[in-house]
């Protein structure tokens, strides 16, 4: 049995999309980005409506196909970003990452932090090289921004796990106009106090949002995001703005 055939049989995971080359999804690395379907949040500005709401309608890519692609291209791509949807909901995630690591690939995980037990296992197993966790809002607005009843204790547990880990990481927030104001970021700063890196992401309207009403929102000016970033420096070591 070939390594690829074994990979296919062992990993019960549904991959719903793949971007062969990305220069932005894994800081410092050229990576392949893998998209997993399904999410337990309903953030109205999310760009991946089909992945969140209708993952079964998207073509499925087998783990064998992904590994075959990675091995063919490993001379210039040695890293994989796993995103979604929410990857930590996938039952085969740990096995999938173990297989990638066994072939020498670096792995970045994007997560909403709602499944701290999964994050803890991945960190304990030394399976992650970078973690990006979305911080949707200050605690009092979390349900509004996630479109559901969020488990804040789980989110806080994930923050602590990531902050106390040895892996590279970032926390990040999409600055949604009308929902998040400048004063909200002081509360986020207190939530993340002592974190190494935090990123303010510019809101980008698109035609694939969960809530079409959000397509008409105009992003805050870049100067507003820079002002927010400056106010966060007392709480967080490095604050960046990402367009």
Domain count, the chain: 1
Beta bridge partners, 130, equal 108, 168
Weakest-pLDDT range from 4-13, 45-54, 101-110, 158-167: 4-13
Q: Are 215 and 184 in contact (CB under 8 A)?
A: no
Q: What pLDDT was estimated at residue 48?
A: 87
Q: CA 228, 233, 234, 235 torsion: positive or negative?
A: positive
Q: Which residues of 95-123 are buried (b: 16+ CB within 10 A; e: fewer)?
A: bbbebbbeeebbbbbbbbbbbbebbeebb
Residue 8: which pLDDT band, with cuts at 50, 70 and 90?
A: very low
CB atoms within 10 A of CB 223: 8
Q: 123 lies in which domain range?
A: 3-242
Q: Is 80 helix (H, G, I), strand (E, B) or coil?
A: strand
Q: What pLDDT was estimated at residue 10?
A: 61
Q: What pLDDT was estimated at residue 134?
A: 98
CB atoms within 10 A of CB 216: 7
Q: What pLDDT was estimated at residue 1?
A: 43
Beta bridge partners, 52, equal none
User: Cα dist. 127→33, 102, 115, 201 in Å?
Assistant: 17, 10, 16, 26
User: Cα dist. 185→49, 172, 181, 198 in Å?
Assistant: 26, 11, 7, 11
Token readout for 17 is 């999309």
Token readout for 142 is 């979390």
Q: What is the pLDDT of residues 75-115, one digit of tens each?
A: 999 999 999 999 999 999 999 999 999 999 999 999 999 99
Q: In the β-sheet with 130-134, what is the strand arrangement from edge to edge?
A: 15-22, 31-36, 79-83, 106-111, 130-134, 168-175, 197-202, 238-242
The domain that holds 87 is classified in CATH as 3.20.20.70
Residue 206: which pLDDT band, with cuts at 50, 70 and 90?
A: confident
Phi, psi angle pair for 79, to nearest 5°:
-140, 155
Residue 239: which pLDDT band, with cuts at 50, 70 and 90?
A: very high
Q: What is the pLDDT of residues 33-60, one digit of tens each?
A: 999 999 999 999 998 889 999 999 999 9
Query: Percent of the chain, pLDDT > 90?
Result: 85
- Count, in order, helices (H) and strands (E) of the chain: 9, 8
* Angle at alpha carbon of residue 80, lines to 92 and 116, rounded to 5°: 50
Query: Percent of the chain, pLDDT > 70?
Result: 95
pTM, two decimal places: 0.94
Residue 9 has pLDDT above 70, yes or no: no
């Amino acid at each position: 049995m070939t390594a690829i055939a074994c990979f296919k049989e062992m990993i019960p995971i549904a991959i719903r999309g793949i971007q062969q080359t990305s220069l932005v999804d894994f800081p410092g690395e050229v990576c392949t980005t893998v998209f997993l379907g399904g999410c337990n949040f309903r953030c109205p500005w999310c760009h991946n409506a089909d992945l969140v709401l209708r993952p079964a309608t998207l073509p499925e890519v087998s783990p064998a196909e992904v590994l075959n692609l990675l091995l063919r291209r490993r001379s210039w791509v040695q890293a994989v970003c796993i995103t979604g949807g929410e990857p930590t909901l996938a039952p085969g995630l740990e096995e999938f990452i173990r297989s990638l690591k066994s072939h020498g690939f670096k792995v970045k995980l994007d997560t909403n932090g709602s499944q701290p037990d999964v994050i803890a296992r991945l960190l304990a197993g030394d399976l992650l090289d970078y973690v990006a966790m979305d911080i949707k809002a200050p605690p009092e607005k979390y349900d509004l921004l996630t479109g559901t009843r969020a488990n804040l204790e789980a989110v806080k547990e994930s923050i602590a796990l990531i902050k106390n880990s040895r892996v590279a990481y970032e926390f990040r927030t999409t600055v949604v106009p009308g929902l998040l104001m400048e004063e909200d970021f002081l509360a986020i700063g207190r939530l993340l106090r002592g974190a190494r890196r935090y990123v303010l992401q510019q809101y980008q309207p698109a035609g694939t949002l969960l809530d079409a009403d959000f397509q008409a929102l105009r992003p805050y000016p870049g100067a507003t995001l820079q002002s927010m970033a400056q106010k966060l420096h007392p709480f967080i070591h490095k604050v960046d703005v990402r367009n």
